[in-house]
Structure 1
C-alpha cells in the first residue's frame, strides 16, 4: 500500500462537456478506483479552467460577467462527472481564492529566484487554444493546426519565464527518469523538441484582466496556461500546508491529451525546477478521440454527448466502452454503433447474463439459499492468472488489457456453467451447491475486477448475488448463508435505434 496521486487536465469552461473530456476523467477515475481497490491512499483531482481571453469573450457575448459565466459552466462539468460516477477527491476551480494564492506564491517564488523578467511579446495567437504558435507550426494562411481558424497577431508587454535556462536540466531529468512520460513515443517527441532549443516564454498578459493578478505588478494577469498548471499544487495545499505537499509531491501522475503535452512536459517541469521543487513523477498521454477522422472538440461541433449516452443506457455503458476499447496513447475512432455492440456483447450477454444465470439457478436449484464457495477454484477458471493479468494491465497503463482479462473470466464462468449444467443437477444436492457456490464466487470476483470501469453495475451484481461487500481481490471460500431472489437484468440488451431515440 502507498500513496497515489492522479490528476486530469482541468477542463476549459467555454462549452458543455463532450466525449473527449469525459474520456479523460473516466479513464483517470478508473485508474484511481483500481488503486483504492489494492489498498492505496488515493488523491484524485479534476476541475475547471476558468480564466483567459476566450472566457471573457464568451461571457461578454452572453451579456454576463466572467464570474457569472464560469459559475454556470463549471457547474455543468461537476454535474456531468457526478452523473458519470466519477469519484474525484477534489474539484479545483481556478477562480477559487485558494488557487489564486497558490499561483501567486508559486510564480512569485520563480520571480524571486530571478527566472522571470519583463519584456515585449509579439506573435500569432489562437484564442481557442489560448496559445501562441510559431509560424512553422501553423497551417497555410496562418491557421491554427488544431482548430483550423485564423490566428490573431498580438503584441503586448509581458513578463517572461526564462525557459531557455532549463534545457539541459530537462534533458537530464528525462534521462534519469525515462518513465516520466508514457508512452515512450511521446517521450521521444518531447526530447526532440527540447533538443531543438528552448526559447523564453510569455507568462503574463496586460490586454485582459480576467485572470490571477501578478503580485509584484498589478497591471498584469498570469497567462491562463501558467495559472492552470499550478492547480496540481493547489489541490495538495501548496499555499497552505507544506506537510501536505511533501506527502503527495512529486509522486503525481498527470493524465493528459497529446495536444497539451508540450505545456506539461516542457513548460511545467521547468517551472517546478525554477520554483525549487521536483517535476511531477509521470505524464500519461492519451491520443485523441476521433469522429470520422477529426478530433472531437467543442469548437468543431462533432461531439458525442456523454450524458446522452448515460441517459439512454447507463454511465457504466459509457465507462466500459471508453476504458475497454483502446490502449492509452493512440488516436481512435469512436461511434455509438461500436458502443452499443460492445455493451451488448460484454455487459448484456456477458457479465449481466452471468449474474442472471447464477442468481436464477440458485433460486431454482437451492431455493434461493446461497451456497458456500469451495476452498479452491477449478483450474479451468484460471483465477490466479486472471488476477495477475488484471493487475499487470493497470500497473502498465494498459487498462484495456486489464478489462480484457476481467471479461475473460466472465467468459470462462459462463463456459463453466455450460459444462457443468447445474440446471440438470438434483435440487438441493451437494453437487448443485458446489457448482453454484463456485460460479457465485467467480461472479463476485469478476465484479471486483470490473468495478473500476463499471462501479454501479459491479455493486448491483454483488447485491443480487447476496454479497454485502465487495470482498477481497482474491478467491474467497465460504460466504454462503444468505437468501436471494431472482435477479433483475443488470444490463438489458438494446439496439442503436433505441439508444438514439432515448438520448
Structure 2
C-alpha cells in the first residue's frame, strides 16, 4: 500500500449560473480519480468549490436587488446539492469569500510583491467582462470580440498593479519541457507552448473600478484581479496560510492534479505556474484539460432547448449509468456528444448485457448447482490461469491509463476482462459439467473463478459506479462497504471461504427500449391547434431587425414608458416601449442588442415619437426584452 498524498481539484465554478453537464463532467471525473486512488491505497484529498468575486457577480447581484454576498450565498449551495445528487464525495468545498481564502490571497500577494514581481502601472486595453480578462490586440476576434466567449469587449483605462509574468517565460518553458505529463492531453501542451513562445506579457492583477473582491494591502483602493484570487484557492484548501505541516504533505511532497475545461487551460498552465514560481512554491504535477460537450450533435444553448440538465438525466437513467456514460463515451481531453441513443446503448450493451449478464448468470448457476453456499475449489487449469493472467494485465493497464487520466481507456480494459469472463462461461460450459457427478470439483472451480472475478470487477468499477458496485458485492453476500475497499484486498483467487453465503440475484441495470425512450423524450402533438393562424406572406410583411440600444431614458410624466435611441444598421431612430417597471436600471440596457420591428407606422406616445417596436417575452408576469448575442451584426434581418 502506497500512503502518499494525492490531491485532486476541479476548477472553482463561477456562481453566475447553475451547474451544467460541463461542470458535472469535470467534477465526476475528479471524483472517479479520487476514488480510484483510494483503491490503490493513497491518502486522497479532493477539492471543489465556487468562484465568488468579480465584476460579473457584482453586476448580477445589483440586477437581482441583492448584495454580492447574498447572491453568492444563494448560488453556492446549488453546486453542493448537485454534487451530492451525483454521488460526488469531495473532501472540501472552498468558497473564495471565506476568510481562510482571503488570508491565503493576501499571503501570496505579499510574497510576490516583496520579491519585486509586482509593480504599479496603468492599463488601457480591451476587457471582457464575461471572462474577467484583458484581451491583447493580437487575440481579438473579428472587429471587437473575445476569443474565448465571443462577446463584445469594452475599452478600459485604469491604474493597475502588474505581475511580472514575462520574467518567468523561460523558466516555465523549461519546466514544461522537463515534465512531459505536466499538461495533458499533449495537444493542449503544444497549444500552451506555442502561446508562451509568442511572448508572455505582464499581468494586470488589480482593479479599482469596482469593489467586490479581496482588497490588496499594499495598494489602497485596489482589489485583487479575479484570476489571481481564484487560482490561489488550490493552496488555501491545503493549509497554505494556516497549516504548514498539512501544506508540506499535501502540496510540497504530494501529487497535485488539476482537472479543468479546455477554455481555462491557459490560466492554469501559464498564469498559475508563473505565480507559483514567483512565490517559491512547487508547481502542480498535472494540469489536465477536457473538451466540451455538444447535445445530439449540436452546440448546447438555452434558445435551442437542448441543454443537458444532469439531474434530469439522473432521474431518467440513474446516477451510476449517467456517471459511467460521461466517462466512457469520450476520450478525456476530446470533445464529446451527449445523445439519448448513446446513453441508452451504453446502458443496454455495456451495463445490462455485459456486466449485468455476467452477474446474473453466475449467481443463477451457482445456486442451481451448489445452493447458496460457496464450496471448496479444485485445481486450476490452463484456461483459468489465462483469465487470472488477463486480470493482472488489466490492473496494470488500468493503472497506466488512469495515471494519465484516460478514463475511457481504463474502462475499455475493465470491459475487456468482463467480456473475457462472459466468454469463459461459454468456453467452460458449466451446464454440461453439472450433468456429470465426476466433474463436480471442476464445476466448483469454474463457478468460484466467476464469483472471485465479480468481486474484483466490483472494486474496479466502484470509482465510476459506487452504488452498483456495492449492489454487486451485496449480491455476492459481501456486506462490507465497497467504498473502503482496496484492490490489494481482492488479490488471489480464493477470496471467499467455503460456507460463505451468497446473496440474491436481482437485475442492477434494467434494459431500456430505445425507440420508446426517444419517442417519450420528444413527443409530437399531431393534433396541435394553431391559434390566430397567419400565412408566410403575412409574416414576411413584418420587418424585424437586430437593433443596438444607444441611449435610454424615461418618458416625462409616465411611469410605464421608456424611450430608446437605437441603431438599426442604417438609421438612428427612437422607439418608445412600456417596460419601465421591469427595467428600473434602464441605463444598463445601453450597448445591448435586441430585436425590433422597424416597419411599423410611427406614432406619438406621451408627446414622444415612436418609430418602431421592441420585441419582448412574458413569463410569470415578468416582461423581458429579446436580447441578441453581441457578436450578431447590428441591422441583421430576422427571417
Please give the alpha-carbon distance, in whole angstroms, between the structure 2 residues aligned to 1:275 and 1:138: 31
Would the alpha carbon gap of residues 420 and 221 (structure 1) be closer, same or farther in structure 2, given more than 3 Å must change? same
Please give the alpha-carbon distance, in whole angstroms, between the structure 2 residues aligned to 1:374 and 1:314: 40
Q: Judge conservation of contact 1:372–1:478 (CA < 8 Å) in 2.
A: no
Q: State the match for 1:491 in structure 2.
A: 509
Q: State the match for 1:361 in structure 2.
A: 365
Please give the alpha-carbon distance, in whole angstroms, between the structure 2 residues aligned to 1:294 and 1:224: 31
Q: State the match for 2:201 in structure 1.
A: 199
Q: Judge conservation of contact 2:474–2:503 (CA < 8 Å) in 1.
A: no
Q: State the match for 2:449 in structure 1.
A: 438
Q: What is the CA-CA distance between 1:300 and the residue it aligns to? A: 9.1
Consecutive unaligned residues of structure 2, counting only runs of 5 or more, are 523-639
Within 5 Å, give how 1:142-157 maps onto structure 2. 142-157=144-159
Matched, 1:17 2:35: no
Q: Judge conservation of contact 2:125–2:155 (CA < 8 Å) in 1.
A: yes
Would the alpha carbon gap of residues 367 and 246 (structure 1) be closer, same or farther in structure 2, given more than 3 Å must change? same
Count the aligned residue pairs. 503
Q: What is the CA-CA distance between 1:314 and the residue it aligns to? A: 1.4
Would the alpha carbon gap of residues 110 and 427 (structure 1) be closer, same or farther in structure 2, given more than 3 Å must change? farther
SS in 1 for 2:423: helix
Matched, 1:482 2:500: yes
Would the alpha carbon gap of residues 501 and 132 (structure 1) be closer, same or farther in structure 2, given more than 3 Å must change? farther
Q: Judge conservation of contact 2:86–2:319 (CA < 8 Å) in 1.
A: yes
Q: Judge conservation of contact 2:341–2:518 (CA < 8 Å) in 1.
A: no
- Structure 1 residues 285-315: Cα deviation after superposition (integer angstroms, max 9, x where no partner): 2222233666658899753111111111111
Which residue of 225, 237, 241 maps to 1:239?
241
Q: State the match for 1:405 in structure 2.
A: 413
Q: What is the CA-CA distance between 1:486 and the residue it aligns to? A: 2.8
Q: State the match for 1:390 in structure 2.
A: 398
Please give the alpha-carbon distance, in whole angstroms, between the structure 1 residues aligned to 2:118 and 2:340: 48
Please give the alpha-carbon distance, in whole angstroms, between the structure 2 residues aligned to 1:324 and 1:385: 20
Q: State the match for 2:322 in structure 1.
A: 318
Q: What is the CA-CA distance between 1:177 and the residue it aligns to? A: 2.3
Q: State the match for 1:379 in structure 2.
A: 385
- Which aligned runs of 4 or more in structure 1 are off by greater than 6 angstroms? 297-301
Higher helix proportion? 1
Please give the alpha-carbon distance, in whole angstroms, between the structure 2 residues aligned to 1:338 and 1:294: 14
Decide which moves more: 218-227 or 366-375: 366-375
Q: Judge conservation of contact 1:311–1:502 (CA < 8 Å) in 2.
A: no
Please give the alpha-carbon distance, in whole angstroms, between the structure 2 residues aligned to 1:498 and 1:358: 30
Q: What is the CA-CA distance between 1:498 and the residue it aligns to? A: 3.8
Q: State the match for 1:459 in structure 2.
A: 470
SS in 2 for 1:270: helix
Q: State the match for 1:287 in structure 2.
A: 291
SS in 2 for 1:327: coil
Please give the alpha-carbon distance, in whole angstroms, between the structure 1 residues aligned to 2:52 and 2:104: 15
SS in 2 for 1:140: coil
Would the alpha carbon gap of residues 119 and 207 (structure 1) be closer, same or farther in structure 2, given more than 3 Å must change? same
Q: Judge conservation of contact 1:373–1:441 (CA < 8 Å) in 2.
A: no
Q: State the match for 2:49 in structure 1.
A: 47
Consecutive unaligned residues of structure 1, counting only runs of 5 or more, are none
- Structure 1 residues 214-252: Cα deviation after superposition (integer angstroms, max 9, x where no partner): 122341111111111001101111110112111122431
Decide which moves more: 196-205 or 333-342: 333-342
Within 5 Å, give how 1:25-424 maps onto structure 2. 25-250=27-252, 251-291=255-295, 302-372=306-376, 378-381=384-387, 382-424=390-432
Q: Judge conservation of contact 1:17–1:76 (CA < 8 Å) in 2.
A: yes
SS in 2 for 1:249: helix
Please give the alpha-carbon distance, in whole angstroms, between the structure 1 residues aligned to 2:379 and 2:228: 56
Question: TM-score scaled to structure 1, two decimals?
Answer: 0.93
Would the alpha carbon gap of residues 180 and 75 (structure 1) be closer, same or farther in structure 2, given more than 3 Å must change? same
- Structure 1 residues 176-226: Cα deviation after superposition (integer angstroms, max 9, x where no partner): 323321222222222222221111111111122111111223411111111
- Structure 1 residues 132-180: Cα deviation after superposition (integer angstroms, max 9, x where no partner): 2123323213122333321222222221111111122212222332332
Please give the alpha-carbon distance, in whole angstroms, between the structure 2 residues aligned to 1:102 and 1:300: 42
Question: TM-score scaled to structure 2, two decimals?
Answer: 0.74
